[in-house]
Structure 1
């Protein structure tokens, strides 16, 4: 069982890197096999289809995203600071040399019309992030509509940074969030 889990993780990590850098549709299972060092027969015993592998990669990406957000906010002592930490996390991520935008947005653009499982996995990650932001806004006694506004700024920053090829979008979005918080959250919070 441990051997199966190790092989599964090896395939997911190899596929993640390939899908993120080249796009899901541009990567065949032979390339995944080569990168993972796992036979096609073994890969298909672990994942019944490429779609199933893509969903596993998206779940892996969700864990990486959640860990990154948690790490960025671990020193924050207030909900406001945790909200702003999201954009500090984005700024650091946008500066990584292999940054290619949001894997969820990229994958949704490639496959959502043909794979309900992929569309569902992407929507789940986005919903979970939006709920996280909503909890922080509620902690601040902010109006409920503030949460989707902040989430949209995070999503837009990811797309803008990928297309523009510059990390500046994180700082601009963070500044916009500070303006929204100043305008919409009671001063006592």
Structure 2
């Protein structure tokens, strides 16, 4: 089979896996269910992805790119460093309002597999560290200390979990309000030092 056809099938399997894992959970979706939904043979599925763990890793890589794109698009809407930081929470509110929102795929995956699959746990940790580093860059641009970045990232992470459990987007607004208070307080204190 030509490489181009392989890539088309690979993308289809990844799209189906992403949707099913996010909707049902990784452990609830076996390779047979994935094979049937994607319309590929089990043999072909394992040729493309040697194990379920490899498939989960690829899904997480795709989600990481998606998340980073959403963060960057949100940040680009802010005119000031403060606005860029708060835009992250606005993006979260839009995401939480989507019909298929089921929480953070990284948090969900870590909850399911983190204790038993070190490579998956490492990918989740890398993703979360990357987000914290991006928030730290934005905080530095605003003139804030590194500790503020950790606080703002924790607010975003907590909002994701709270929204998934509560089933509403209200957590994003509360997190945004708390973030604005923190940013204003810390930057005012920094300005007087």
Q: TM-score range by the shorter chain?
A: over 0.9
Distance across 2 between alignment mates of 1:108 and 1:146: 25
Distance across 2 between alignment mates of 1:75 and 1:150: 18
Distance across 1 between alignment mates of 2:85 and 2:40: 41
Equivalent of residue 59 in structure 2, options 26, 50, 57: 57
Give the Å deviation of 1:119.
Answer: 0.4
- 1:3-25 deviations in Å (ceiling 9; x for gaps): 22222111111001000010000
1:182 is aligned to: 184
2:43 is aligned to: 41
Distance across 2 between alignment mates of 1:97 and 1:50: 27
Aligned length: 188
Distance across 1 between alignment mates of 2:6 and 2:82: 42
- 1:147-167 deviations in Å (ceiling 9; x for gaps): 000000000000000011110
Distance across 2 between alignment mates of 1:79 and 1:6: 41
Give the Å deviation of 1:114.
Answer: 0.9
1:136 is aligned to: 138
Distance across 2 between alignment mates of 1:38 and 1:79: 48
Equivalent of residue 81 in structure 2, options 63, 68, 79: 79
Equivalent of residue 164 in structure 2, options 151, 162, 186: 162
Distance across 2 between alignment mates of 1:124 and 1:9: 23
Equivalent of residue 8 in structure 1, options 7, 10, 13: 10
Contact 2:78 2:87 in 1 (8 A): yes
Distance across 1 between alignment mates of 2:143 and 2:76: 21
Distance across 1 between alignment mates of 2:137 and 2:75: 14
RMSD: 1.3
Unaligned runs of 5+ in 2: none
Length-normalised TM-score, structure 2: 0.94
1:172 is aligned to: 174
SS, match of residue 145 in structure 1: helix
Equivalent of residue 92 in structure 1, options 79, 91, 94: 94
Contact 2:77 2:87 in 1 (8 A): no
Unaligned runs of 5+ in 1: none
Give the Å deviation of 1:2.
Answer: 2.2
User: Hey, which bits of structure 1, 4+ residues long, moved more than 6 A?
Assistant: none
